[in-house]
Amino acid sequence: MFLPRQVHLTLPPWVDELVDDTRRFVTDEERVGLAVALAARNIEHGFGGPFGAAVFNADGRVVSVGVNRVVPQTCSVAHAEMLAYMSAQQRLASYRLNAAGGRYTLATSAQPCCQCYGATMWAGIDELLIGARSEDVEALAHFDEGPLPTDWIGELEKRGITVRRDILRAEARAVLADYGARGEVY
Amino acid sequence: MFLPRQVHLTLPPWVDELVDDTRRFVTDEERVGLAVALAARNIEHGFGGPFGAAVFNADGRVVSVGVNRVVPQTCSVAHAEMLAYMSAQQRLASYRLNAAGGRYTLATSAQPCCQCYGATMWAGIDELLIGARSEDVEALAHFDEGPLPTDWIGELEKRGITVRRDILRAEARAVLADYGARGEVY
């Protein structure tokens, strides 16, 4: 039979160089700063959208990271946040990161699109930290962010997920602008 | 370095037995019928949520299938629709299924949750065929479907995706009821 039965997604090898595993990322700015650094490096390498994300545990250690891998993986699902969630869940062997207790944070360089927004509901995080806004993504990098529920923050908070945004927004916008200036959308 | 850099998702081997690759699935009922059959088989095997999906090309041939694999893959992303999209895109080596022309249809046993709804925006399908409604999923199988934009169908249609629902709804509801009667949510 011909049916594909496997999906294999990878992150680029350079993520290892970028992340210091001895470091505790304590403040919101340190955490979003790593996500923005991942986004910047991803476009330097010229092989993906200008987006980065990372999952942190309560101690501020990095559990996983993600960058946009839509083009190299030919996979519309392979957004930074999705890779960060999936690889953290495989590492912890739990389909809900906080199922066994502990608090988990996702930091992302830009507001999640409609897909990553929905995925955030089920991933088992307690905090969502956002750099650039959707309007920045659309104006500077020319991606469609897709439709969200009107009260998108409230819907996350109802499910126990705190949202803070505009963290290092200027730095996050700069990466989007850099990408947009190249005239690509992927 | 300790960072996970790989995500590997699989479908169960029995999907090959269920799908006849010589067959053309022409009507909406035939297509959703396959998605419902996948959902039913997935809970028979006792290892995943009561959801199935399949991608069809314009000839009605099956390009890929998906079933809910959240528990066996410890992955909250591994919903039926997500696996169907990802494996179809890997097969066609295209992050947007219809990028090279051709029309693609996703048939799903139940209305996509907020995550799969968002993913549908980017997958490159032309038609979305739905069995059970979200209210059926929530009432019968006790899953949270998550929040959607108020005009969720209109938002898909704006992006060129036609939506038809209530296809074999009774059969799709029966699978959800069967799962719900077991008293599990995963």
Question: Of A17, A81, A135, A184, which residue is the catalytic one?
Answer: A81
B17 exposed, middle or buried (CB, 10 Å; 0-12, 13-18, 19+)? Answer: exposed
Give the model's confidence band at A122: pLDDT under 50 very low, under 70 low, under 90 confident, else very high: very high
What pLDDT does B183 receive? Answer: 78
Annotated catalytic residue within B17, B29, B30, B81: B81
Contacts of B5 in chain A (CB under 8 A): 10-11, 13, 15-16, 87
Is residue A1 very low, low, confident or very high in pLDDT (cuts 50, 70, 90)?
low
A88 contact partners, CB below 8 Å, separation of at least 6: A55, A63, A64, A97, A104, A123, B4
Q: Residue A129's beta-bridge partner residues? A: A107, A164
Rg (CA), chain B: 15
Confidence (pLDDT) at A47: 78
Percent over 90 (pLDDT), chain A: 89
Single pTM value for the model: 0.97
Cβ atoms < 10 Å from Cβ of A24: 12
CA B172 to chain centroid: 12
pLDDT of residue B186: 75
Backbone angles phi, psi at B91, to 5 degrees: -60, -45
Q: Which amino acid is at A158?
A: K
Work out the mean pLDDT of chain A and round it to a whole number.
95
pLDDT tier for residue B82 given thresholds of 50, 70 and 90: very high
pLDDT confidence of residue B52: 98
pLDDT of residue A10: 97
Check B146 against A87: CB less than 8 A apart: no
For the stretch B141-153, pLDDT in tens is 999 999 999 999 9
* Annotation says B30 is catalytic: no
| pLDDT tens figures, B19-54 | 988 899 999 999 999 999 999 999 998 878 999 999
Residues of B in contact with A42 (CB under 8 A): none
Query: Which one, of B57, B64, B61, lies nearest residue B24 by Cα?
Result: B61
Residue with tokens 């009432």: B139
Its ipTM equals 0.97
Average confidence score pLDDT of chain B? 95
**A9: pLDDT confidence band, cut at 50, 70 and 90?**
very high
pLDDT per position as a tens digit, A16-66: 899 988 899 999 999 999 999 999 999 998 878 999 999 999 999 999 999
B108/B130 Cα distance (integer angstroms) = 5
> Shortest CB distance from B117 goes to which of A4, A95, A118?
A118
What's the pLDDT score for residue A183?
78
pLDDT at B1: 52
| Alpha-carbon distance A185 to nearest alpha carbon in chain B (angstroms) | 13
| CA angle (A41, A45, A51) in 5-degree steps | 45
